[in-house]
Amino acid sequence: MIRWPAEWEKHTAILMVWPHEHSDWCLRLDTVRDTYIEIMKNILRFERMLVIVPDAQEERRIQKRLGETKKGVTFCQIPTDDTWTRDSGPVTVFLDGEPLLLDFEFNGWGGKFPASQDNRITALLHRQGVLGNVRLRQPHLVLEGGSIDSDGCGTLLTTARCLLNPNRNPEWSREQLETKLAEELGIRRFLWLEHGYLAGDDTDSHVDILARFCSPDTIAYSSCDDPADEHFDALARMAEELAVFRTPQGKPWRLVPLPIPAAILDEEGRRLPAGYANFLILDGAVLVPAYQDPMDAVAQERLAQAFADREIVGIDCRELIRQGGSLHCATMQLWV
């Protein structure tokens, strides 16, 4: 029997990739590294970490910045294209109670960006032995971790706009994808969102920027209360879809709206995909993106109600969003 755990279940560690000069962060290294150190220090309050670095020199620099908290980090030297481990890193499932790493193919979000090195991250981690003796399987399917979400009980939440996009698996129908994901992840119920997007998003509407499981009966989702905002109609239609979905027990989901912040623009005036659904659930805490916006406090207050047993920690993600991602995108939980 295969089971894909929910993110709120106790982890072994959190995986991240350190920004380096050969990535798209090359022009903003100092500022984005400050953000990464802030994220890492907060993660290390609750969990261990596995951090991929380009070389030993960079590892020493990180250790110096982390101070005593470095004791909770295992470093691994692997070449990477970028830092979005949610999409290029391993997906952990349990097969008959034992962890199994799934190494899905990563093609740079439909061929938009170079991905040959990132596509090898999981295999190299496994080969170097930093993940222990856990088994590895390569399903031969293009799939990113940010495009799917699990309730730990066999229900998968995803978006048709991403999974059915011909730039991923053009030969696969919806029915074929469901069969494959049932086989690989142990999924028995599929919740497909047909609507919803955030402007500036390169992922073709990953579910982890739109709607997330918080518990077996709760879903938090990006919402928009401003009729003049370009997202108003699409996110309203997504909210209607969520209201129709039912739990495995046949009950409506408890829905937690997370109003998106005011528009954040890049240097060329294009809107960036800032939102709060890209939170990271830790053992004892939830790290929530913040953008120095009044909605930061609203999102944190509502997530505090959804995660009453966890500390809510806001993390300034204005630098991360410059490359189109946020907290969840930059991390991947491991069960090994």
Q: So where are the chain's domains?
A: 2-334
| pLDDT range class, residue 151, cuts 50, 70, 90 | very high
Share of the chain above pLDDT 70, in %: 100
Distance CA(129)–CA(125), nearest Å, equals: 6
**What single-letter DSSP state applies at residue 145?**
G
- The helix/strand/coil state of 236 is helix
Q: Which residues pair with 311 in a beta bridge?
A: 285
Q: Does domain 2-334 have CATH number 3.30.1360.70?
A: no
pLDDT recorded at residue 140: 95
Band of residue 91 on the pLDDT scale cut at 50, 70, 90: very high
Query: What percent of the chain stands above pLDDT 90?
Result: 99
Q: In the structure, what pLDDT confidence band is assigned to residue 273 with cuts at 50, 70 and 90?
A: very high
In tens, the pLDDT along 211-264 reads 999 999 999 999 999 999 999 999 999 999 999 999 999 999 999 999 999 999
What is the band of 317 on the pLDDT scale with cuts at 50, 70, 90? very high
Contacts (Cβ under 8 Å, ≥6 apart) of 274: 198, 260, 261, 264, 289, 291, 317, 321, 326
Which of helix, strand or coil describes residue 327?
Answer: coil
